[in-house]
Amino acid sequence: MRATRTRAGEPVSGRAPDDAVLRRYLLGNVAPEVRERIEARLFSDDKTFWEHLCLVEDELIEGYVAGELETDDARLFERSFLCTDERRSKLEFAQALRAYVTTQQPVRITLWHRLQGMVSVPAWAVAAAVAALVVLPVASGFFGRPADRAAVGETDVVASVSTGLVRGAIAELPRVQLSPDCKLLRLRVEPDQDHPRYAATLYEVGGEEIWSQGNLTPSEVDGRTAVTLTLPCEMLAAGDYYVTLRSAGPETSATTATTAASRANFRVLRP
Amino acid sequence: MASAILLGSVRAAGGVEMTGILRRSLTEESWDALFDFLDPGRSTRTGPDRNAAAEARCLEITRKLVFFFAGRACGDAEDLTAETILRVAGKAREIARSPGMDPLAYFFGVARNVHLEWLRDARRETTRRESAVRDPGFFPIRDVRAWRNDEIVHRCLEQCMATLGRAARQLVISYYSDDKTAKIERHRQLAAEFGKSMNALRIEVHRIRKVLRECMSGCVQPELARVSQ
């Protein structure tokens, strides 16, 4: 392996600094000679080092948001590290992400086993594919009216289903047909009881929970009140599902909401 | 505006001095020269992607310069970064003709000079800097209200998370769902499940997070503008 050099061709001496040194550098708490060594790498062609430094920066911010920094480091973070708008913006993002994650159901091991190996394919980096989705009308019954269909742009489709009591009888299922390149399903679930906020959970028909979210606010569209769930189509294989809605406070996750649930059933069809 | 395109991710810090050079606009010729300096093959290309490599290079250098000045405890890191870029842009046509001249090394040298001058000026003009005025035309200043609006941020996060693949989305949520000891154990568990080392998992999450952050940056401002209408 060739030695790392600055762009001017001068060798960058020594091995790459470790995480602790980079954290101290970011906090402005290293000796001048250490700082200069880091700067030499910063302006070298060492792309691995550059990514590593950015990674440590992210983790430093995350550590601050999680309250994991020592008192002195936290003080340096506030007084020294947060000296640019970009870093302040990253802090805001980290706080928002953390708040978001707390509203999400932790993923169970069983799901992770199914996901194993998928992360090596960076699907998130692939440009959005055009989605097509058809919600087939169904006969009235338990749900009272057929599922709705509405296109939103080229990648999203909206479908509506209504809820009833959990122990109610199940009539014909609203059917949702997803094309292979479908991206998002915006599922409007109409609650049968009015609450200011809801927690929603999506289950496979066998009862395995596959998604949940708290702190959902209902909105009115075309005279109907509904809670909109944004579901990645790839999460939904062909089969039967049901969604439960529970009343929830602003800080409530789907798992901690305790009131009785309403339930909406639907069937996903794929070609 | 070329500068806004180039430096869109860098914004002026509050309450800092903007030096005279930042108040002057560079000519299109200077930006062209800078682009050619950063991407020598650009002059032979045409089409909409002609500037893409130079812009990417400039953004990377911009970020490195911000690190450099921030690492030297400069409260004016973003302004000094702009100062450095503008100085290089002003000389780009001339220095591009020097054989073997490397842009990154040149930026580094100019940045060191800018820092030395800043140290001198800081000693001399500490009080004057406090009352100086920023030039909003150079750095597009984002409206922080967007990040204060929980509803917008949450909506944007939902949209951006939905653009991730399922595995990436679940990985991010799971990776950040615990604190301290439980977090370490969870990361170890995730690494084992994905067949990756802990460090490879860190890098994976870092890259996903970067995609997410860029998506958020492109979402919250338009959302705020839409809501404000």
Quote the pLDDT of residue B9: 33
Residues of B in contact with A181 (CB under 8 A): none
Beta-carbon separation of A55 and B203 below 8 A: yes
* Residues whose CB falls within 8 Å of the CB of residue B160, separated by 6 or more in sequence, listed in order: B212, B215, B216, B219
Quote the pLDDT of residue B151: 81
The average confidence (pLDDT) of chain B is: 76
Mean pLDDT of B191-212: 90
A183 close to B (CB below 8 A):
yes
Threshold 0.95, pTM exceeds: no
Quote the pLDDT of residue A23: 95
Quote the pLDDT of residue A157: 66
Instruction: In whole angstroms, give the CA distance from residue A203 to residue A40.
Output: 53
Instruction: Determine phi and psi for A159, rounding to 5 degrees.
Output: -130, 150
Residues of B in contact with A183 (CB under 8 A): 162-163
Mean pLDDT of B37-47: 86
Residue of B11, B206, B220 best to disrupt the A interface, most CBs of A under 10 A: B206
Mean pLDDT of B147-161: 82
For the segment A111-143, what is each residue's pLDDT rounded down to a tens digit?
A: 444 444 343 333 333 333 323 223 333 333 333
Quote the pLDDT of residue B65: 94
Specify which residues A212 forms β-bridges with. Answer: A201
Rg of chain B over CA atoms, in angstroms? 21
Quote the pLDDT of residue A85: 83
Mean pLDDT of B33-37: 88
Instruction: Report A:32-71 residues touching B (Cβ under 8 A).
Output: 35, 38-39, 42-45, 50-51, 53-55, 58-59, 62, 66-68
Mean pLDDT of A61-83: 91
Residue of A124, A157, A212, A253 best to disrupt the B interface, most CBs of B under 10 A: A124
Quote the pLDDT of residue A153: 41
Mean pLDDT of A147-174: 55
Instruction: In whole angstroms, give the CA distance from residue B150 to residue B170.
Output: 22
pLDDT above 70 for A204: yes
A200 close to B (CB below 8 A):
no
Q: Which residue did the predictor score with more confidence, A13 or B47?
A: B47
pLDDT above 50 for A255: no
Beta-carbon separation of B216 and A81 below 8 A: no
Rg of chain A over CA atoms, in angstroms? 25
Query: CA A111, A114, A118 angle in degrees (round to 5)?
Result: 115
Quote the pLDDT of residue B61: 92
Instruction: Report A:84-123 residues touching B (Cβ under 8 A).
Output: 84-87, 89-90, 92-93, 96-102, 104, 106-107, 109, 111-113, 115-119, 121-123
Specify which residues A199 forms β-bridges with. Answer: A246
Which of A59, A89, A124 lies nearest to residue B164, judging by beta carbons? Answer: A124
Quote the pLDDT of residue A270: 80
Instruction: Report B:120-159 residues touching A (Cβ under 8 A).
Output: 141-142, 144, 147, 150, 153-154, 157-159
For the segment A81-98, what is each residue's pLDDT rounded down to a tens digit?
A: 988 888 888 998 998 898
Quote the pLDDT of residue A236: 81
Quote the pLDDT of residue B84: 92
Quote the pLDDT of residue A40: 92
Q: At residue A13, what is the residue type?
A: S
pLDDT above 90 for A50: yes
Instruction: In whole angstroms, give the CA distance from residue A128 to residue A233.
Output: 12
**What ipTM did this prediction achieve?**
0.76
